[in-house]
A and B are shown apart, each in its own frame.
Chain A
Amino acid sequence: MNADSPSTLPINDQETTDPILATPAQQPKLQIRLKNEDGVVKLILPTEAETPASASWNDLLEQLQQRLQANIRFWQPLAVVHLIAYDRLLDARQLQAINDALSDVSLQLQIVVTSRRQTAVAAATAGYSVTQQLAIDPLVPPSNANLTPLLAEPIYLQMTVRSGMDIRHQGNVIIMGDVNPGGEIFAAGDIIIWGRLRGIAHAGYPNNPQCLIMALQMEPTQLRIADRVARAPETPPPQFEPEIAYITPQGIRIARAVDMKTTPYLRELALPPSLRPD
């Protein structure tokens, strides 16, 4: 890769000093996962151990509502939902709130899978079918997503990521819409924004330097890939066009998307991280 290639715009680049990024022990806030399996929607809550102490029930509920609304086109009306609650304590009020959020998009909660007796009792009292799992060994995370480099399935969100929202995902993230100032995206893989990027995008979180950030219009507050941080140039270009950010030995660079086809290095980068030659 020729660092002085005219197709790349050098941007302010620095080694990260952000303590949050510097400590790999810091886990991303785990996401609610929604999976469609044979017509059944699985709503998977993060376990207590996966949830940082700072995350409140309201954060979780708000996230659930946003995710349901953002995918509203894809829900089969009246599809059945299985709630996988792991070891999370849910009381009657919280179950009701989950049920309300689901019924807003015409989904119906039917089965609650839990390892906690109290949750099972609350769910049964509220009239749901309950499957009680064996308690999870707190030392073994229920999903191995954090232990293996395998990415989760991509998430596709049709929404404006607004100020105060953050999207975190252990895979590639595709946003059909703008990411506004104050909005943040953290992806273990690539981030593709079919819209304007004005907030913060962190691809390859926490430490995969091979990931990319693509946007129709790059005006980010900050770009981060793996442990690198860059700010957009002070003066925006006179005209925006689709661009791609990637890591070079000199730091984060941005190239015009049309130039990418002619740059062999970028062609390799365009592959999903798992398929790229090392």
Chain B
Amino acid sequence: MTRIIVITSGKGGVGKTTVTANLGMTLAKMGHRVALVDGDFGLRNLDLLLGLENRVVYTAVEVLAGECRLDQALVRDKRQPGLVLLPATQNRKAEMITPNHMKWMIGELAPQFDFVLIDSPAGIEMGFKNAIAAAQEALIVTTPEISAVRDADRVIGLLEASNISPARLIVNRLRPAMVEASEMMSVEDVSEILAIQLIGVVPEDERVITSTNRGEPLVLENNPNSRAAKAFENIAHRLCGEKTPYLDLSVDRGNILTRLRKIFTK
């Protein structure tokens, strides 16, 4: 059975596209056949993150208009042959896409893959509705900020109403030092409000940004000292049902005293 998963958030810029690219790459490395669907019509950038921009010839809109076949639009990743991208369009034709189009297209695509990951745009408008139309499950990405959590909560409600389940939670850009200083919401604070299953916590990591700029998802090479890369890999394993322990994201430079205090206050 193909698993069709939408990656969504409500608020913009919290890391949906980053999560989609890194999860897709990890799942492909694990030997799965993975299709990434850029559902962010109008502002596409999944191709950029994957470093596939210059190989895009056709997009989903040409497929829907009957101007090319679906397999012609798929861009295969040379570095990771199990991974393909179905690119989105930036031009105005994108406005014609409806949820039924998406259902049809992903229905055609799904049988050849183990995973179809759909990168949703921000917001809860038409683009979001298109992105979730064909999805069976969801990954909700949020940062530990009140406004992002509020939007994530709204989106979870909409997914529940559309019967998309399970919806699992990824907390991105966590900064343990700030949490310890009570300057940032903790993972517990976030999951207490959202009340859905947590599937991963990704720390803030500069290498996410540098890898984005290079068009090479962080997990592409082995990056043993990047905790963000490790976190993405763990999420992929948990998605496949493996029990993977959570990373210790406590502050590195914590001396014995702060650790002791943590033990006593827990």
Query: Are B163 and A69 in touch, CB under 8 angstroms?
Result: yes
- Given known contacts A160-B195, A178-B195, A180-B193, A66 and B160 CB-to-CB distance under 8 angstroms: yes
Q: Among A37-45, A79-87, A161-169, A242-250, which stretch is in contact with chain B? A: A161-169
Q: Among B81-89, B105-113, B150-158, B208-216, which stretch is in contact with chain A? A: B150-158
Interface residue? B162 (CB, 8 A): yes
Interface residue? B161 (CB, 8 A): yes
Query: Are A163 and B157 in touch, CB under 8 angstroms?
Result: yes
Enumerate chain B residues within 8 angstroms of A66, measured Cβ to Cβ.
Answer: 157, 160-161
CA distance A69 to B146 in the complex (A): 27
User: B125-156 toward A: CB 8 Å interface, digit per residue (1/0)?
Assistant: 00000000000000000000010001101101
- Specify the chain B residue showing the minimal Cβ separation from A160: B195
CA distance A162 to B157 in the complex (A): 6
CA distance A160 to B163 in the complex (A): 15
- Specify the chain A residue showing the minimal Cβ separation from B124: A164
Contact of B153 among A69, A159, A163, A177 (CB under 8 A): A163
Interface residue? A272 (CB, 8 A): no
CA distance A104 to B164 in the complex (A): 11
Query: Are A165 and B163 in touch, CB under 8 angstroms?
Result: no
Return A198 CB to nearest CB of chain B, in Å: 8
Enumerate chain B residues within 8 angstroms of A177, measured Cβ to Cβ.
Answer: 195
Inter-chain CB contacts under 8 Å: number:
42
CA distance A104 to B156 in the complex (A): 18
Query: Are B163 and A104 in touch, CB under 8 angstroms?
Result: yes
Return A208 CB to nearest CB of chain B, in Å: 28
User: A212-251 toward B: CB 8 Å interface, digit per residue (1/0)?
Assistant: 0000000000000000000000000000000000000000
Instruction: Specify which of B157, B162, B193 lies most central, judged by the most chain A CB atoms within 10 Å of its CB.
Output: B157
User: A168-189 toward B: CB 8 Å interface, digit per residue (1/0)?
Assistant: 0000000001101110000000
Enumerate chain A residues within 8 angstroms of B151, measured Cβ to Cβ.
Answer: 163
Query: Are A180 and B153 in touch, CB under 8 angstroms?
Result: yes
- Specify the chain B residue showing the minimal Cβ separation from A65: B161
Return B125 CB to nearest CB of chain A, in Å: 11
Return A122 CB to nearest CB of chain B, in Å: 20
CA distance A62 to B129 in the complex (A): 13
Query: Are B161 and A69 in touch, CB under 8 angstroms?
Result: yes
Query: Are A162 and B154 in touch, CB under 8 angstroms?
Result: yes
Query: Are A181 and B160 in touch, CB under 8 angstroms?
Result: no
Query: Are A69 and B160 in touch, CB under 8 angstroms?
Result: yes
Instruction: Specify which of B153, B160, B161, B162 lies most central, judged by the most chain A CB atoms within 10 Å of its CB.
Output: B161
Enumerate chain A residues within 8 angstroms of B156, measured Cβ to Cβ.
Answer: 162
Query: Are A164 and B161 in touch, CB under 8 angstroms?
Result: no
Enumerate chain B residues within 8 angstroms of A164, measured Cβ to Cβ.
Answer: 153-154, 157
Enumerate chain A residues within 8 angstroms of B158, measured Cβ to Cβ.
Answer: 62
User: A63-74 toward B: CB 8 Å interface, digit per residue (1/0)?
Assistant: 001100100000
Enumerate chain B residues within 8 angstroms of A198, measured Cβ to Cβ.
Answer: 193
Query: Are A162 and B153 in touch, CB under 8 angstroms?
Result: yes
- Specify the chain B residue showing the minimal Cβ separation from A105: B163
User: B178-206 toward A: CB 8 Å interface, digit per residue (1/0)?
Assistant: 00000000000000010100000000000
Enumerate chain A residues within 8 angstroms of B163, measured Cβ to Cβ.
Answer: 65, 69, 104
CA distance A84 to B154 in the complex (A): 30
CA distance A268 to B123 in the complex (A): 47
Query: Are A62 and B153 in touch, CB under 8 angstroms?
Result: no
- Specify the chain B residue showing the minimal Cβ separation from A63: B161
User: A92-118 toward B: CB 8 Å interface, digit per residue (1/0)?
Assistant: 000000000000100000000000000
CA distance A81 to B148 in the complex (A): 39
Query: Are A182 and B154 in touch, CB under 8 angstroms?
Result: yes
Enumerate chain A residues within 8 angstroms of B162, measured Cβ to Cβ.
Answer: 65
A-B contact pairs, 13 of them (CB 8 A): A65-B161, A69-B163, A162-B153, A162-B156, A163-B151, A163-B154, A164-B154, A177-B195, A178-B193, A180-B153, A181-B150, A182-B150, A182-B154
Footprint of B on A, CB under 8 Å? 62, 65-66, 69, 104, 159-160, 162-165, 177-178, 180-182, 198
The 9 closest A-B pairs by CB, nearest first: A162-B157, A65-B161, A163-B153, A164-B154, A163-B154, A162-B153, A163-B150, A66-B161, A160-B195
Q: For the A-B complex with A65-B163, A66-B157, A198-B193 known, give 10 more contacts whose Cβ atoms are closer than 8 Å.
A: A62-B161, A65-B161, A66-B161, A160-B157, A162-B157, A163-B157, A164-B153, A164-B157, A180-B193, A181-B146
